[in-house]
């Protein structure tokens, strides 16, 4: 029976906040605005660099390129390699544009692990619309009860909850909310804990 784990990208597999902050402050300085410390807008990182700028300027006409970053969350490489040895299907469900998601995954040498990558522009809808997730599962031909979503924010959590898919929350992600106020079945500090969680969930039984 096929199994699948679907991951968010920014804040879940990679910590993009520092690079997005660099891009944010570069643009702010270029246009004569004040720069900000990462603690002020880290929670916006999961929405992309453009939204960081829009939040700071409260405008809708500032555009710029997003940086590529290489900060992989602890244990990700080892877990993905282990999962593929167990024939688990892996997919990405991100609100980053599909081309940017693929570019990033290539840069950090993770793209080979993923059977499907869906970005904000892959379908006509995106998270928290549950179809962003359920469409991926349909493409992979995996049932909801044989799948798990892993993410770091309330957007990921709501997507999984509405889709009725088990959800693992990655702590310390791009959100203002306390972990206990975000829907989840389990949570992890990093991916060194994933095998134990999957065992508790009897995912491979």
Residue 25 sits at φ, ψ, to 5 deg, of -70, -30
**List of E strands, the chain:** 4-7, 89-93, 116-118, 147-151, 166-170, 186-188
pTM over the 0.75 mark: yes
What pLDDT does 62 receive?
38
CB 45 within 8 A of CB 11: yes
Q: What percent of the chain has pLDDT over 70?
A: 74
| Residue that wins the pLDDT comparison between 19 and 4 | 4
Q: What percent of the chain has pLDDT over 90?
A: 65
Give 59's pLDDT tier (boundaries 50, 70, 90): very low
CB 41 within 8 A of CB 56: yes
Superfamily (CATH) of domain 4-15+69-200: HAD superfamily/HAD-like (3.40.50.1000)
Domain extent listing, the chain: 4-15+69-200, 17-57
């Amino acid at each position: 029976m096929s199994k699948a784990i679907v991951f968010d990208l920014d804040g879940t597999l990679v910590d993009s906040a520092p690079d997005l902050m660099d891009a944010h402050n570069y643009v702010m300085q270029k246009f004569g605005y004040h720069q900000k410390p990462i603690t002020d807008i880290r929670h916006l990182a999961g929405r992309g660099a453009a939204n960081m700028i829009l939040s700071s300027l409260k405008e809708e006409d500032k555009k710029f390129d997003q940086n590529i970053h290489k900060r992989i969350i602890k244990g990700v490489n080892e877990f993905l390699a282990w999962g593929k040895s167990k024939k688990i299907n892996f997919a990405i469900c991100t609100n980053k544009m599909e081309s940017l998601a693929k570019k990033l995954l290539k840069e950090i040498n993770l793209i080979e692990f993923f059977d499907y990558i869906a970005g904000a522009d892959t379908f006509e809808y995106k998270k928290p619309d549950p179809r962003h997730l359920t469409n991926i599962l349909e493409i992979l031909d995996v049932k909801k009860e044989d799948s798990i979503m892993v993410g770091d924010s309330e957007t990921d959590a709501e997507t999984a909850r509405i889709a009725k898919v088990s959800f693992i929350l990655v702590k310390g992600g791009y959100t203002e909310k306390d972990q206990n106020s975000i829907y989840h079945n389990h949570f992890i500090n990093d991916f060194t804990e994933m095998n134990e969680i999957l065992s508790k969930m009897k995912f491979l039984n």
